[in-house]
Amino acid sequence: MTEEEKSRLFALKPLIERWPAVAKPEGHVHFRTKIMWTVLCLILYYILTNVMIYGISEVTIDMFAGFRAIMAGASGSIMHLGIGPIVTASIILQLFVGAKIIRLDLTKKEDKAIYQGTQKILAIVMILVEAIPQVYGYLSPSDALIGMVGRGWANAVIISQLFMGAYLVFLMDELISKWGIGSGISLFIAAGVSQAIFTGLFNWLPVKGTEWSLSSPPAGVIPGTYYLVSHMSVGQIAEGGFSLIFLGHPGYYPNAIVPLLGTIAIFLIVVYAESSRIELPLAHAKVRGARGRYPIRLIYASNIPVILMSALLANINMFALLFYTHPTLSRLPLVGHQWWIGVYQPGSAHPVAGGAWYLSNLNGINSWFIPILSGGVPGGHAAWQYALKFIIYISVMIIGSILFAKFWIETTDMGAAAVARQIQRSGMQIPGFRKDPRILTRVLERYIPVVTVIGGAAVGALASFADAVGTVGNTSGTGVLLTVGIMINLYEQIAREQAMEMHPVLRGFFGAE
CA dist 332 and 133 (Å) reads: 16
C-alpha distance from residue 393 to each of 29, 231, 361, 473 (Å): 43, 39, 8, 21
Q: 480 pLDDT exceeds 90? A: no
* 126-178 tens-digit pLDDT: 999 888 888 877 888 888 898 888 888 999 999 999 999 999 998 998 899 88
Poorest-pLDDT segment among 124-128, 209-213, 337-341 = 209-213
Sequence-ordered alpha helix ranges (H) in 279-435: 304-325, 355-358, 369-373, 383-411, 416-425
Question: How far apart, in whole angstroms, are the C-alpha atoms of residue 19 and residue 174?
Answer: 13
Residue 238 gets which letter from DSSP? I
Q: What is the pTM of this model?
A: 0.76
pLDDT, one tens digit per residue, over 101-121 is 777 777 677 887 888 888 888
What's the whole-number average pLDDT of the chain? 82
Q: Is the predicted pLDDT of residue 227 greater than 80, yes or no?
A: yes
Mean local confidence (pLDDT), 294-299: 79
Q: Which residue, 177, 180, 161, 11, is CA-closest to 90?
A: 177
pLDDT of residue 465: 86
Q: At residue 3, does pLDDT exceed 50?
A: no
Q: Tens digits of per-residue pLDDT, 6-43?
A: 777 788 888 887 877 788 887 777 888 888 999 999 99
Tell me the average pLDDT across 410-415.
75
Give burial (CB, 10 Å; 0-12/13-18/19+) of 279. exposed
Sign of the torsion formed by the C-alpha atoms of 470, 473, 474 and 478: negative
Q: What is the 3-state secondary structure (H, E, C) of 191-234?
A: HHHHHHHHHHHHCCCECCCCCCECCECECCHHHHHHHHHHHCCH
Most confident of 235-244, 269-278, 341-350: 341-350
What is the H or E stretch that residue 509 is in?
helix 506-510
Residue 441 contacts residue 416 (beta carbons within 8 Å)? yes
> Where is mean pLDDT largest: 4-13, 152-161, 344-353, 409-418?
152-161
Q: Give the count of alpha carbons within 13 A of 357, CB side only.
A: 22
d(CA 464, CA 398): 8
Question: Does 388 score more than 80 pLDDT?
Answer: yes
**CA pair distance 131, 360, nearest whole angstrom:** 22
pLDDT at 52 over 70: yes
Q: Which of 368, 344, 369, 365 is nearest to 354 (CA)?
A: 344
What value does the CA radius of gyration of the chain take, rounded to a whole number of Å? 25
CA end-to-end span of the chain: 27
Q: Counting Cβ atoms within 10 Å, is residue 171 exposed (0-12), middle (13-18) or buried (19+)?
A: middle
Q: In order of start, what are the domains of the chain with their CATH numbers?
A: 28-203+255-510 (1.10.3370.10)
Cα–Cα distance between 149 and 135 in angstroms, integer? Answer: 15
Most confident of 317-326, 375-384, 500-509: 317-326
DSSP H or E run through 351: strand 351-353
Of the given ranges (97-106, 180-189, 197-206, 352-361), which has the lowest mean pLDDT?
97-106
Residues 6+ apart with CB under 8 A from 82: 64, 71, 72, 73, 166, 169, 188
pLDDT for position 300:
81
Dist CA 283 CA 66 (whole Å) = 49
Q: What does DSSP assign to residue 376?
A: B
- C-alpha distances in angstroms, 107 versus 97, 98, 154, 257, 409? 13, 14, 47, 49, 11
C-alpha to C-alpha distance for 193 and 484, rounded to whole angstroms: 10
Rounded Cα distance, 73 and 411, in Å: 26
Nearest-angstrom CA–CA distance, 102 and 512:
29
Question: Please, which contacts does 502-511 make with residues 24 or more away whose CB atoms are closer than 8 Å?
Answer: 504/28, 507/28, 508/425, 508/426, 509/422, 509/423, 509/425, 509/426, 509/428, 511/413, 511/422, 511/425
pLDDT higher than 60, residue 508: no
pLDDT of residue 395: 95
- pLDDT above 60 for 505: no
